[in-house]
Amino acid sequence: MKTAGIIGGSGFIGRRNTKIFLAHGFDVKSSVTDINRKEKYEHASKETLDDYNS
């Protein structure tokens, strides 16, 4: 499996890129500003990825 690193994964462009890489089977490592604000990075979870693919 290929790995992608995304800086600013909770920002507008980073969120979109994270979803695209996950949809293409990449393992994604991402930096976020505040780990306590889950709403900023929950887009990277398996459940939301399934919603993205439908």
**Do residues 25 and 4 lie in contact, with contact meaning Cβ atoms separated by under 8 Å?**
no
- pLDDT surpassing 50 at residue 54: no
Asked whether residue 52 carries a pLDDT value surpassing 60, the answer given is no
Q: Write out the residue range of the structural domain in which residue 18 sits.
A: 3-53
Domains of the chain: total: 1
How far CA 46 is from CA of 4, 16, in Å, comes to 16, 15
2 pLDDT above the threshold of 90: yes
pLDDT score at 43: 63
Per-residue three-class SS string for the chain: CCEEEECCCCCHHHHHHHHHHHHCCCEEEECCCCCCCHHHCHHHCHHHHHHHHC
- Is the pLDDT score of 29 beyond 50? yes
pLDDT reported for residue 3: 92
Rounded to two decimals, the pTM is: 0.62
